[in-house]
Amino acid sequence: MTSSTRRVLRIPELIFTIFEFLDHKSNARNARVCHAWVEIALEIIWKEVDSLYQLFGVLGRLKRAGGEFYEFESKPDAVNWLRFETYARRVKSLRANAYQLKQSVFDCVDGLRREPAILPNLQALEWNAPMKYSSLFMHSKVKKLCVSPPFTSLPAFFQEIVNRLPNMSTLDILTGGPAHVVVEDLACFLYKLPQLTEINLPRSYFTTETANALSHMQHLRSIQIQCSRPTKASQSIVSHGKSEGLLCPLHNLRIETSFEEAIRIIEIPFSTPNLTRLDIDSGDPPIESSTFMRRLISAVSSHRQLVKEIRITSANHPCQSDCIVTEDVKNLKLDIFRPLFRMSNLTSFEMTHQYPLNLAQSEIEIFATSCPAMENLMLNVEPVHLSDSCLTLDALVPFAQHCSQLKRLGLFVDATDVPETTPTASFKSLRQLAVGLSIIDNEAAPSLYLAHLLAAECTIGWGASWEDCTSLSSESIEIIEKRSKLWASVNRMVPMLCKKICATAAAHTF
């Protein structure tokens, strides 16, 4: 090993970056290499702890005490505690499930600790255990809490959090007790969290009462609402009560639920003049219909007119569902998007659906002329059904003509029928053209056409970001691989052709 290599391997920041890519076993070996590495390796190993069994196993050996429970094999002493503290001070994040440990374990820890908090540098806590044990871990440095409300003693449960976590900024509430039991106390609890900047709530807990409480938060920037499918109970609580009409500084709202339920949430009278980003994901199938997508976009344009960024996703994975697909699901026409044209602040719109858009070239013209301020536009670039598209490469031209600020554009097109005429316009600001798995059978003609539309610096993105590809047929995989290779070739060829075209045009000017 050269002297320069030795010097490099002594740079703490570089070693830390390298070790972060390694697993715990590798870093455990690294900790035994030298004194310079031991601190770095231990910092990474103990930064995030996934169980109390792992944490307290350092204090003393744990043994089974019947069933699923564990207890200390022998009672730890002060010497053991000093050793435990060298690891405890490194823990920044803890996922705690105390149901596997006996009460005697916590009594022992409580008796040995020298400070109120046994993890003095803890910042994030995921707590899935009785609250009576939580006082060992909750303190003023904890900024992020994930917790499930109990079925009883809710006021005391919430007050304990308020008392022990005065600087909490992120709260993730998991589904616990039923909504009609939890919501009133939850709303009172939220009024007492002035520092909160981000909250994640189950759909059933997001009501007019909790919305009013969130309206008082001067630092709130993001709300995430999660639910698999709508229920009668969740439908009934939306209409209960009236909003106080307060102003909330909320910037980001993410909703994970069906489009039908998302419409109800958006229509809750919750004043959010600073809301800039809206992200709606329907989650698992069934696939959302064009009717509900139109109603959703209409609701957004009516109740959240000042939003700048919208992302709408319907079942973004190639699932093989047995449900019958109606024409309403496939009929993604221009009327769905017309409400967007009323939103003067909108600069970014992304939508994803299983089926390709059913738009004619004339309708693309209307879309482009109606959204001249758009900077990011991703129009269903990754449909799961890849067999056909109504759009050709000619569909790009209206956006080049009318959307001068467009930096990112995505369309699923049929690039097998390339227009014979040269494009009449070119993009001025476009930095990425996303084509997903658009239909293509050769790279030459599409490359030449795109070279007249794009700048040499503009990249072409292809492929799919589907979460689950296990249900794809071998035929689909073959299609994906073939198209990906061809679009990769197009991405390589277009910059070279752009430069050639520019050089030829320059030569003709002299």
Res 441 pLDDT > 90: yes
- Map residue 504 onto helix, strand or coil: helix
- Mean pLDDT (whole number) for 27-32: 85
Q: Determine contact, residues 64/100, Cβ cutoff 8 Å.
A: no
Tokens (6 digits) for 503: 């050089």
For the ranges 40-49, 172-181, 224-233, 265-274, the one whose mean pLDDT is highest: 40-49
| pLDDT tens track for 467-485 | 556 667 788 888 899 999 9
The per-residue pLDDT for 247 is: 46
The per-residue pLDDT for 28 is: 86
- Mean pLDDT (whole number) for 174-183: 79
Ramachandran category for residue 463: left, alpha or beta (phi over 0 → left; psi -120 to 50 → alpha): left
Res 211 pLDDT > 90: no
Place 282 in a pLDDT band, splitting at 50, 70 and 90.
confident
Structure-token match 């219909």, residue found: 289
Q: Determine contact, residues 242/274, Cβ cutoff 8 Å.
A: no
Report whether the peptide linkage leading into residue 286 is cis, meaning its omega lies within 30 degrees of zero: yes
Q: Determine contact, residues 435/381, Cβ cutoff 8 Å.
A: yes
Percent of the chain with pLDDT over 90: 41
Q: Determine contact, residues 174/203, Cβ cutoff 8 Å.
A: no
Ramachandran category for residue 476: left, alpha or beta (phi over 0 → left; psi -120 to 50 → alpha): alpha
Q: Say how far apart CA 177 and CA 187 lie, in whole Å.
A: 14
Tell me what the pLDDT averaged over the chain comes to.
Answer: 84
The per-residue pLDDT for 401 is: 95
Measured at the CA of 372, the angle between CA 367 and CA 375, to 5 degrees, comes to 100
- Mean pLDDT (whole number) for 226-251: 45
The per-residue pLDDT for 15 is: 82
Angle between helices 259-266 and 290-303 (to 10 degrees): 10
- Map residue 198 onto helix, strand or coil: strand
Place 451 in a pLDDT band, splitting at 50, 70 and 90.
very high
Higher pLDDT, 452 or 322: 452
Would the pTM count as exceeding 0.85?
no
- For residue 366, the number of C-alpha atoms closer than 13 Å in the C-beta half-sphere is 14
Instruction: Output the CA torsion sign for 364, 367, 369, 372.
Output: negative
Res 36 pLDDT > 50: yes
Higher pLDDT, 251 or 445: 445
Res 235 pLDDT > 50: no
Residue 170 pairs in a beta bridge with: 144, 198
Angle between helices 154-164 and 179-190 (to 10 degrees): 30
Place 81 in a pLDDT band, splitting at 50, 70 and 90.
very high
Percent of the chain with pLDDT over 70: 87
Tokens (6 digits) for 353: 């659906």
- Map residue 353 onto helix, strand or coil: coil
| pLDDT tens track for 338-350 | 999 999 899 999 9
- Mean pLDDT (whole number) for 332-357: 92
| pLDDT tens track for 112-165 | 998 888 999 999 999 887 777 888 899 999 999 998 887 778 888 899 899 999
